[in-house]
Amino acid sequence: MLVLVTILTSLASPTFSTLLERAHQQQVIYQLKAAVLLARHTSLIERTPVHICPLGGVGLDPMLNQRDEPECVSDYRVGVGTWIERDGTWQPLRLWRWDAIKITNRKGTRRVGESVSFDKNGLANRNMTWSICAGRTNLSLVLNRVGRPVTRFGWGEC
C-alpha cells in the first residue's frame, strides 16, 4: 500500500527540475517587470527619456560609463538594462542579469530583442510582450503604450 501511494504521489507532483524551471521563469519575469517599472517611474520623476534594452552576456561591466547611446544586444536571454538620458548622453541606471533563458514573443515564434523607450511623460514607444515557457507552462509580461506592465499566466504559446 505504501508503495502504491509513493508511486501515485511521484506521478502527480512536479519534478524538482520542473519546479526549478518555473522558479527561474518567475524570477526573470519579475526582474523584467522591475526594469519596466523603474524605467517608467524614473522617466516621470526626472522628466527625461529612459530606455530598456537587452544586455549582452560575458564581460559587461555593471559600472559602465556614459555613452552616446545605450549598449544593447539582439535579445533578452541573459539580462536587461535601463538607461537614462542626461546631458545628451546615456548612462546606465540599473542592470539585471540571469542565467540564459529563451524569451519569445507571444506566439513563441521568435526571440524578443526590441528595446522600449519611455518619454518624459512615462509613455512607452511600443506595446511589448516578453514570454517565457517552463515546459508547457507560459508566463508573460505584457506592456502597453501607457507604460503599465501586467504579468499574465498562459498568455503566450509554448
Determine the Cα–Cα distance for residues 93 and 73; give it in Å rounded to an integer.
17
Tens digit of each residue's pLDDT (9 = 90 or more) over 79-107: 999 999 888 888 889 999 999 999 999 99
Q: Which uninterrupted H or E stretch holds 19?
A: helix 16-46
User: Of 51, 100, 109, which Cα lies nearest the Cα of 79?
Assistant: 100
pLDDT tens digits, residue range 145-155? 999 999 999 99
Local confidence band at 18 (pLDDT 50, 70, 90 cut-offs): confident
pLDDT of residue 89: 85
Where residue 58 falls among pLDDT bands split at 50, 70, 90?
very low
Nearest to 123 by CA among 43, 67, 69: 43
- pTM given for the model: 0.84
β-sheet bridge partners, residue 95: 81
Kindly tell me if the per-residue pLDDT of 69 is higher than 90: no
Confidence of residue 13 (pLDDT cuts 50, 70, 90): low
Q: Are 36 and 144 in contact (CB under 8 A)?
A: no
Which tops the pLDDT comparison, 23 or 10?
A: 23
Q: What is the second-level CATH architecture of the domain 15-153? A: 3-Layer(bab) Sandwich (3.55)
